Structure 1
Amino acid sequence: MESLHKLVAIIGPTAVGKTRLGIDIAKRFNGEVISGDSMQIYRGMDIGTAKVTKEEMDGIPHHLIDIRNPEERFSVADFQSLVEEKIAEISSRGKLPIIVGGTGLYIQSVLYEYEFSEAPADPSFREQLEKKAREEGNEAVHRELALLDPKAAEELHPNNVRRVIRALEIVTSTGRPLEESRNGSKPRQKYQSAVIGLTMDREKLYDRINRRVDQMVSEGLIDEVRDLYEQGLRDCQSIQAIGYKEIYEFLAGETALDAAIVNLKQNTRRYAKRQLTWFRNKMDVEWYDMTVEADHSKIFAEIFKYIEGKLQVKSNT
């Protein structure tokens, strides 16, 4: 185990407080942060992805933010490769790498030996499913996946059409569910890791999400999305992100602004629920409840102590 790089991963639902904790851990243990969010990689998508600001970074280096243009595709395998490079680079400088994010599959791909299926792409099959999604809605394609691979359907949101279609490609070409095609054996840990999970009373979390959305709107979310819309960006991976697709519907005249904001809040709450379910079912996590705001310093102290013991690292204080 000692030959493996040491790594901290901070996971949990949106709006629970991961960003602040990541920065505090980096200060305490001479670390650098790697974003584990699948949408913060995109330039020009700052407000809707709750991207950390320069002021919030407080001098702590952050990696894998603003590395792609919104029209570019970015896969889990791309993320896995880039993060592994960053972990090696940060570790080589005597720093502690800290992944902070809520995209479960992305984090899992880094922590565990996780082989991606070599099932070949089938352009005609893909085109057929894309047409079905356009004509009958994303849910129709997702229902097909649920019939063939219920577990994969649970993991994938219907609006993530690209990955739903890929999962259908894999199960139809290999005859095996997505999970088996990833790795037939129990995954092996690639790092000496401390995985910190933050959770919160659901009603309080939902209230924080609602207030965060209101704050995003007041900070200029509509204008941010309008800029992308007016650039002609359509049907690309980035625009499927929560916070963008809802406002796109408003800009396209498909819904009123108030309704778009209500949808955005609802979709974010649902996403937070799925995040918690994913992390609890997929990973070995040390959970901390952030419900009581006044006790955050006490909780952080417990987390620091856990990291010291788990990774055998010394703090700066």
Structure 2
Amino acid sequence: MTRVLAIVGPTATGKSDLAVTLARVLDGEIVNADSMQLYDGMDIGTAKLPFEQRGGVRHHLLDVWPLEKSAAVAEYQAMARAAIADIARRGRQPILVGGSGLYLRGALDNLEFPGESPEIRAKLQAQLEVLGAELLHRRLAALDAEAAASILSTNGRRIVRALEVIELTGERFAARMPPFESIYDLVEIGLDRADLDDRVELRVHRMMAAGLLDEVRELLRHGLRDSPTAGKALGYAQLLNAVDDTGEVIRNVDAAVADTVRATRRFVRRQRSWFRRDPRIHWFDAGERGLRDAVLATLEECDW
């Protein structure tokens, strides 16, 4: 059975840096499990590691989807498993890294995705446009509180998909999740830290200083506003509300930044709720000194 290391947890905990450190020790290669880092050109706002910070470690599944593509977890599942197989076949250690819980479970566990109904989806999409995401999210919460807790109330695409699955299958969306059993010889390392709210705010301001607004302006030229998924990403969605189609600022950018901070903190709470349900995860305080050695010691205890 292929041995896989997964590094998971909320955003802004330092997963990418730890992954590079461990990959250099374990002769590993990294497979991205951040749904928005799959999109080409979305670099600053997704905290995609610049090439020069990757420590010579090969990264897979970055910049593989164009902006106009709608996210497809089943498609990601196939790509991630192919990348893991390729890495293992070459005698290297696959390291899956990210904070997108459904993508991680899709890659690692025996998870089968239900089919689609264009008719049901079209109906729900029309309701979304008329009623708005918040109202549909309340409907989802009444039908499946667990699913609603894991989906942002502003994420209309995922809300529609959850409601579509419920109507299509007659089952709760969350009930289709399999037991926490991987198809791999898996060790999961989870990172969290108590000062995450402060780190989120600092990171958003650093993204702005690094040129996130200019990145949004550039991506506008390539269809970001009309993207069914990429345009809804944290930071991008808020800044899109602050500029017109030419990139000219039409609303308060500081307010958009504050909205991004608040939305990211809410997202962190949902990530925590999702990952804390997985009993396989070995949790570490990402702010503690000696993190690398502590993780390596845990891997040794797991007979790695």
TM-score by length of 2: 0.93
**Match of residue 41 from structure 1:** 38
**Match of residue 271 from structure 1:** 267
User: Which amino acid in 1 is paired with 2:107?
Assistant: V
- Whether the 8 Å CA contact 1:42–1:65 is kept in 2: the answer is yes
**Match of residue 253 from structure 2:** 257
Deviations 1:271-291 (A, max 9, x none): 112111110013520000123
- Whether the 8 Å CA contact 1:117–1:182 is kept in 2: the answer is no
User: Which amino acid in 2 is paired with 1:262?
Assistant: A
- Local SS of the residue matching 1:97: strand
Cα offset, 1:132, TM superposition: 2.5
User: Which amino acid in 2 is paired with 1:189?
Assistant: S
Query: Does residue 109 of structure 1 match 2:102?
Result: no
**Match of residue 244 from structure 1:** 236
- Structure with bigger helix share is 1
Distance 2:193 2:108 in 1: 24
**Match of residue 84 from structure 2:** 87
**Match of residue 68 from structure 2:** 71
**Match of residue 9 from structure 2:** 12
Deviations 1:55-91 (A, max 9, x none): 1101000000011111112311111111111111100
- Whether the 8 Å CA contact 1:108–1:283 is kept in 2: the answer is no
Query: Does residue 162 of structure 1 match 2:157?
Result: yes
**Match of residue 302 from structure 1:** 294
Structure 1: unaligned runs, 5 residues or longer:
none
- Whether the 8 Å CA contact 2:67–2:227 is kept in 1: the answer is no
User: Which amino acid in 2 is paired with 1:257?
Assistant: V
- Local SS of the residue matching 2:45: coil
- Local SS of the residue matching 2:296: helix
**Match of residue 280 from structure 2:** 284
- Whether the 8 Å CA contact 1:197–1:288 is kept in 2: the answer is yes
Cα RMSD, aligned residues only = 1.6
Distance 2:170 2:286 in 1: 43
Deviations 1:81-128 (A, max 9, x none): 11111111100111100011000111111221111113x4142x3233
**Match of residue 222 from structure 2:** 231
Distance 1:161 1:81 in 2: 25
Query: Does residue 180 of structure 1 match 2:171?
Result: no
What is the number of equivalent residue pairs in this alignment? 299
Cα offset, 1:174, TM superposition: 2.2
Query: Does residue 209 of structure 1 match 2:204?
Result: no
* Change beyond 3 A, Cα 1:91–1:84: same
Deviating 4+ runs (over 4 angstroms): none
- Whether the 8 Å CA contact 1:197–1:287 is kept in 2: the answer is yes
- Local SS of the residue matching 2:35: coil
Cα offset, 1:17, TM superposition: 0.9
User: Which amino acid in 2 is paired with 1:224?
Assistant: E
